[in-house]
Structure 1
Amino acid sequence: MKQIFPVLMTLLLFIPAGCSKQEEITSYTVPKTDSGLGPAGSDSAMAPAKDVRMLAAILPDSPQYWFFKMTGAPEQVQAEFEPFVQFLKSVSLKDGKPEWKVPENWEQLPGNSMRFATLKVKGSDPAVELSVMPLPANSDLNEALLSNINRWRDQVGLGNITEAQLKAASDTPALDTELFTVKAGDQTMTVVSLKGKMAANPMGRAPFASGMMGGGAGRPAPGPSPANPPVAAAPSPVKFETPEGWKPGRSGGMRKAAFNITAGDETGEVTIIDLSKEYSPLLPNINRWRDQVGLKDITEAELPKESEQLKAGDLEATYVKLIGPETSKPAKAILGAILYRDNLAWFVKFTGPPKLAEQEQDRFKQFVQSIRFE
């Protein structure tokens, strides 16, 4: 029997934008970044890794894409491979919302601020869940597919695939086939079945592609290089003043701007992204950032004490400075600002070590205050 679930809210993301002039500027250089992906170069190196299997799929639609993802112990997820594939085949879109047939051994749970819906395997311990999340569509489908697939591969310690490999995806679902497609009505889903190792808290990172969101704290996305050519970004209505010393990072797609910052042996990243205002409430996004650096959630009543209002032209941005506990290894920090304009929410975010966050705080705030829209 098909069920239709109301859209609650989309994830929060981060996008780089540049801004502001300073009285005193420190000279920075672009950090050398490892061209390979995997546990040693990712957030997964920050926690003991465990064997996992990931099943994930992307259903393109307009004005948003739909993401379906299940991650867990290999033997648990392997047992759900056939139900997962049949579930995908049952998905259809009606008025921009997905419908599906719930597998016999699964149950539907209420969605939350981060998810459109959650489905759980009955009796699973630890719980095996499938998350369903919408995210605004990228103008380039291949870019969106490739960046998300490579982010998922990075999460489980696997290297990147190329666009040629993406186009060569099998049309026959199989557990040990890492990339294949599934027909859902007249739509085609791109699906991955990945086995590898993942850090204990994979959701501490942005839930979608690194090409759409900021990387882990302390690890900026690689800047342009022969091995990592710049991606041309679509024209953006957002304008800003870039602080001296901030070097262009990887932008394009949902990333309206990105910058890498280096001082000594410390590196950080600033990103700017826009998402639907309707699915991007303020407090859940701030609490997500707090969770990323190891801080507890706050309530609506506590928000005014834990944030600051900055003027960006005729708009107001809510700014937070989040320094993770010293006991965290490594300690993480986020400087973040969220502002709303028309039907969009704009996320401006610095991620990096606490010392660099303290050093860049004034520049970051000036950057936010310099933001204007055409």
Structure 2
Amino acid sequence: MIKYITIALSLIFINTCFAQEMITKIDSIIKVNSNLNQKIGISVGFIKNNEEHFFNYGNLNRTDSTKISQNSIFEIGSITKLFTAHLIARQVELGKIDLDNTIDDYLPPFFELNTGLQNKIKVSDLASHQSGLPDFNFQELMEVNPKQPLNEVTKEMVDSVLMNTSNLKSYGSYQYSNISYVLLGYILENIVQDNYENIIKNNILIPLNMSKTKTLDYAGNEVTMGYNAQGELQDFFNWNSVIAPAGLLKSNATDMLKFIRLLLKPNNQAINNQLESTYFKNTFIELGLGLNILRENDTVVFAKTGDTLGQSCVLAYNPEKEWGIIILTNQANRTANEIFNQIFDILN
């Protein structure tokens, strides 16, 4: 008996040392990247086997010395798409949406599809970026409104795309699309009979107590400032109810780990199976619903990036090894991706 107790205690000690070594390496990676980009603010939340760790470097902005914390608010950009995909998967589980059905069955009646599009685009095509629909011309939006280009996206613009697109030349091919997630937002609103902001609050933010994750009202003394790739000041995107489902949430490391916990929960598996199934795959990329699927040897990691004009972030998780990570940075450069790539090598 004493022999078995000794072995058990030794294993616990070894696992504890290994876990601590991993956390130390993760912190070292973040610190090195912070030193390479001394003006950038970085906030990282990491969960492994239900234990949370936070790593914060830099300041909220470049005009004072207020330090970044795990509660500092960043734009999460297109990681919002993962929230939208999760809401779609919930409706699938409730039997209100079939991913193989075409969007004609679910879009609000005020949209009219060109005859060339009718009964051709599946719901899963929208969520996996293979609908073939043309996306908004971001360059033109920037020319009209360089600081707030998304202000120019309207329901009428969406309607025009659906009415004036007569064929889907790239259908079934990967083409990253914001309009696809705008349409998923309208589908949710039509099914639930509520606006997107209320849907995401009532189904995710409030139940998970993600009280710092913001939609319209995000002002406060914990909000970071954004900076473009050249280091110039860049305001957060305004909340626009049309394009919001594609990328307008603001959040922090504390709240985002709550969402990652939801993605790691075994009792959430029915919904996760919808998100994590492969809907598109070629030589370069594999996609679930709102997720990139990364495979290395026998390891499968699910990830989503988020980039705005002034901030960049990465979310990733591995249900099998029970870890998840959120990396938030307040400059639109490659730092978040570099940190993730280096940490990814350690975790695998």
Same fold, judged at TM 0.5 (above): no
What TM-score results when the alignment is normalised by the length of structure 1? Answer: 0.31
Q: TM-score, normalised by structure 2?
A: 0.32
More strand by share: 1
